[in-house]
């Protein structure tokens, strides 16, 4: 004999309210009047949500804090993963993300834009010694040269060959480009290279439009964040170290351990962008 109460409990688990830490880059989206979205996919440590032209990532436990993300504690996050699936409807707004009977609230925020002190080109050059700017199978020469001479057209041309290159939600070519352009924007400000900062600002729109059709929605969202100086947490730590706030070797090692291929490509891109600023 089937117990109706037991069946009902299985079909409709109790509502779950989970507090998280969110990036201030998505503050407006999360606190707005409300927008509907869809779960793009899930993994063992994250949920990807698309709402309009935006992608939000809900990461779990030891997952990396992302510039377009909300980070949840391990236990509650696992329960969220158990309840949602690809295609689930999502409502975002009024300070929360609602998926079915799970509500993710945001009592705390973090800033994905690393705060750097002023740094001289000479000091930056010294701190870059020994750090690789290459990724096996990817030609970084044209991008590095375009950044060095400040060629908007050259950067966009390089982006055409890099975007979507490699497997995964964030292909290696995208990660390299994200690291290089994010570093140019952030370190350009720290070194007083106003032309480099203006260069990145000037290519942001055409590059974002190019990414929309050449790579995944998730990867395009991370690239767009980088163009505004907002990066994943380990990348920000490496940039701070290059500016004199942190251990370079330790932060570089932490970044290259990120994901299957993302970390090494991001790190190489950061070094490539930084090298262009000291030429």
Give residue limits of the domains in the chain.
4-109, 121-277
User: Cα–Cα distances in Å, from 226 out to 38, 75, 83?
Assistant: 24, 30, 31
Q: How far is CA 109 from the centre of its chain?
A: 16
At 9 the pLDDT is 44
Q: For the chain, which residues score pLDDT lower than 70?
A: 1-12
CA 127 to chain centre: 24
CA–CA distance, 116 with 137 (Å, rounded to integer): 32
Q: Return the DSSP state at 14.
A: P
What does the pLDDT read at residue 76?
A: 86
Q: How many residues does the chain have?
A: 279
Q: How far is CA 178 from CA 25, 198, 260, 271, in A?
A: 16, 17, 16, 12
Q: Please give the pLDDT value at position 12.
A: 63
pLDDT, residue 11, reads 57
Angle, helix 262-277 to helix 141-149, in steps of 10 degrees: 30
Taking residue 96's Cβ as centre, other Cβ atoms within 10 Å add up to: 19
Sign of torsion, CA 92 93 95 101? Answer: negative
- Are the C-beta atoms of residues 143 and 181 closer than 8 Å to each other? no
> How much helix, strand and coil, in percent to the nearest 5, is found in the chain?
50, 20, 30
Query: How confident is the model at residue 128, as a pLDDT?
Result: 97
């Amino acid at each position: 004999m089937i117990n109706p109460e037991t069946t009902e409990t299985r079909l409709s688990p109790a509502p779950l309210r989970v507090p998280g830490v969110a990036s201030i880059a998505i503050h407006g989206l999360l606190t707005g009047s409300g927008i509907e979205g869809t779960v793009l996919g899930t993994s063992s440590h994250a949920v990807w949500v698309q709402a309009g032209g935006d992608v939000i990532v809900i990461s779990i436990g030891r997952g990396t804090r992302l510039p377009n993300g909300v980070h949840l504690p391990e236990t509650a996050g696992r329960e969220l993963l158990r309840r949602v699936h690809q295609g689930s409807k999502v409502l975002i707004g009024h300070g929360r993300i609602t998926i079915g009977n799970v509500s993710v609230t945001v009592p705390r925020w973090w800033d994905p834009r690393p705060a750097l002190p002023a740094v001289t080109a000479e000091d930056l050059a010294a701190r870059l010694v020994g750090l690789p700017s290459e990724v096996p199978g990817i030609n970084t020469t044209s991008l590095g040269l375009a950044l060095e001479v400040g060629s908007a057209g050259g950067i966009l041309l390089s982006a055409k060959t890099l975007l979507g290159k490699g497997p995964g939600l964030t292909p290696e070519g995208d990660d390299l480009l994200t690291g290089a352009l994010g570093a140019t924007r952030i370190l350009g400000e720290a070194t007083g290279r106003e032309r480099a900062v203006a260069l990145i600002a000037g290519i942001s729109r055409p590059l974002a439009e190019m990414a929309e059709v050449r790579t995944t929605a998730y990867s395009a969202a991370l690239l767009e964040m980088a163009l505004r100086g907002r990066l994943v947490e380990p990348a920000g730590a490496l940039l701070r170290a290059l500016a004199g706030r942190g251990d370079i070797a330790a932060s570089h090692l932490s970044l290259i351990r990120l994901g299957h291929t993302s970390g090494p490509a991001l790190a190489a891109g950061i070094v490539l962008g930084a090298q262009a600023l000291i030429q």
